[in-house]
């Protein structure tokens, strides 16, 4: 199983959104990370066949899916930020209806729904209409729908929104199990939890990939040192001008500034937040 993007470019209203994207996905969980406007949503829309790129190829097991979209669609599970559940249907009815639309066998689908209801703690509310449910429950249903056809490629756009800590941990465990036999691509703003679930990471900024590979290796490839300083008084504009800023925090009424420097005798070890800032702000 192989999903490849080759020289993907995309323009919207003559504005370059993606520029020469080259990525190769195999089994595992990938995090797609970037600032707002970086091109993540456009890339997801191309991967899910909603957009046709201006230039380039998307290959699934060697087949160009731009020319043969159904070849990928039959193996695709996709959850967008706008889940689009039928409000007057129950949880079970939504799963059954969308499962049939995805081409699931009716008899097998009934058993699959029982599994999904159990995996996502939905059994007790299976007969409740969507309009009576909270955002977090709807989120769980959306993820269940993305998995219901046992897809080989799963794309989840902000799947962690509205989920509490327990729900997220249960989802991480489930996705890790599923990823043994498929490709999972997750776009999220909750970067502090990426290390819990993802094997590899894609950082994208201004329509270009600034890093693609093993998550831990992304820390090693940061070519700046990280340090922290106590600052007594400084404006926001001065802070940005003076430092390659990562973040600030207050401790004991003092402002602590974490930032990149060219050299440090005792650098702080990088974490996922440091990597995010580095690859989205200081590599172009």
Q: How high is the pLDDT of residue 84?
A: 87
Q: How do residues 204-229 score in pLDDT, each as one tens digit?
A: 999 999 999 999 999 999 999 999 99
- How far is it, in rounded angstroms, from Cα 78 to Cα 76? 6
Q: How do residues 233-277 score in pLDDT, each as one tens digit?
A: 788 889 989 999 999 999 888 899 999 999 999 999 999 999 999
- The secondary structure of residue 283, as a DSSP letter, is -
* pTM, full prediction: 0.92
Q: How high is the pLDDT of residue 96?
A: 97
Q: Check if the beta carbon of residue 218 is closer than 8 Å to that of residue 280.
A: no
Q: Check if the beta carbon of residue 32 is closer than 8 Å to that of residue 3.
A: no
Write b or e for each residue in 80-118: b if 16 or more Cβ atoms lie within 10 A of its Cβ, otherwise e.
beebebeeebbbbbbbbebbeebebeeeebeebbeebbe
- The secondary structure of residue 135, as a DSSP letter, is H
- How far is it, in rounded angstroms, from Cα 30 to Cα 184? 6
Residue 23 half-sphere exposure toward CB, CA atoms < 13 A: 30
Q: How do residues 113-163 score in pLDDT, each as one tens digit?
A: 999 999 999 999 999 999 999 999 999 999 999 999 999 999 999 898 888
Task: Name which of 22, 65, 46, 40 is nearest 157 in CA terms.
Answer: 40
What's the chain's average pLDDT?
A: 93
Q: How high is the pLDDT of residue 210?
A: 97
- The string of DSSP codes covering 31-90 is EEE--TTSSHHHHHHHHTTSS--SEEEEEETTEETTT-HHHHHTTEEEE-SS----TTSB
């Amino acid at each position: 199983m192989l999903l490849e993007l080759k020289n993907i470019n995309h323009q919207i209203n003559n504005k370059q959104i993606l520029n020469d994207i080259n990525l190769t996905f195999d089994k595992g969980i990938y995090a797609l990370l970037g600032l707002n406007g970086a091109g993540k949503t456009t890339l997801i829309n191309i991967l899910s066949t909603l957009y046709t790129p201006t230039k380039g190829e998307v290959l699934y097991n060697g087949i160009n899916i731009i020319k043969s979209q159904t070849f990928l669609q039959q193996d695709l599970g996709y959850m967008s930020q706008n889940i689009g559940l039928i409000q007057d249907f129950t949880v079970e009815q939504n799963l059954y209806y969308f499962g049939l639309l995805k081409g699931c066998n009716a008899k097998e689908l009934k058993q699959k729904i029982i599994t999904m209801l159990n995996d996502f703690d939905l059994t007790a509310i299976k007969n409740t209409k969507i309009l009576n449910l909270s955002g977090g429950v709807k989120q769980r249903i959306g993820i269940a729908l993305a998995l219901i056809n046992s897809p080989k490629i799963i794309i989840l756009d902000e799947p962690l929104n509205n989920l509490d800590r327990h729900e997220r941990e249960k989802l991480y465990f489930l996705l890790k199990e599923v990823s043994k036999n498929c490709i999972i691509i997750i776009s999220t703003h909750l970067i502090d939890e990426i290390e819990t679930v993802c094997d590899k990471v894609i950082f994208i900024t201004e329509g270009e990939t600034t890093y693609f590979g093993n998550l831990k290796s992304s820390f090693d490839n940061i070519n700046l040192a990280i340090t922290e300083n106590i600052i007594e008084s400084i404006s926001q504009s001065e802070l940005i001008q003076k430092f390659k800023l990562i973040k600030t925090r207050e401790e004991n009424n003092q402002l602590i500034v974490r930032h990149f420097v060219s050299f440090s005798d005792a650098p702080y070890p990088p974490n996922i937040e440091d990597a995010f800032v580095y690859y989205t702000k200081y590599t172009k």
